[in-house]
Amino acid sequence: MNRTMSDSGRSDKKLARETADGIAIQALGFIAGDAELLPRFIDLTGIAAHDIRRAAGEPGFLAGVLQFILAHEPTLMKFSEESGVAPQDVGRALRALPAGDDGYEMSS
């Protein structure tokens, strides 16, 4: 499902919460389906694999998923390519979610 919003010419506008949730859920599926990313995500978050579904309903969890994607540019670019979501829209989605902000460090 392609949820890019950048074509609208409103890249400075905040995404709707429903759209942001959708992008974050796509990102969680992307992480879960990657044999290298999933263990890294679990290690960094401290969440047990069997608790991810429950944790996904907690405030801030989906923002954490997007922070994980955004913190590593190669991961962001791979997610963007596979999902059809523009990289800048991942950041916009983060800002639309509870506990989403720009207070994370980017790495390459």
In a domain, 102, yes or no: no
* The pLDDT of residue 14: 74
In a domain, 5, yes or no: no
In a domain, 91, yes or no: yes
In a domain, 103, yes or no: no
In a domain, 76, yes or no: yes
* The pLDDT of residue 4: 45
Neighbours of 77 (CB within 10 A): 12
* Domain, as residue range, for 52: 16-96
Q: Are 5 and 15 in contact (CB under 8 A)?
A: yes
Domain count, the chain: 1
In a domain, 11, yes or no: no
Q: pLDDT tens, 25-45?
A: 999 999 999 999 999 999 999
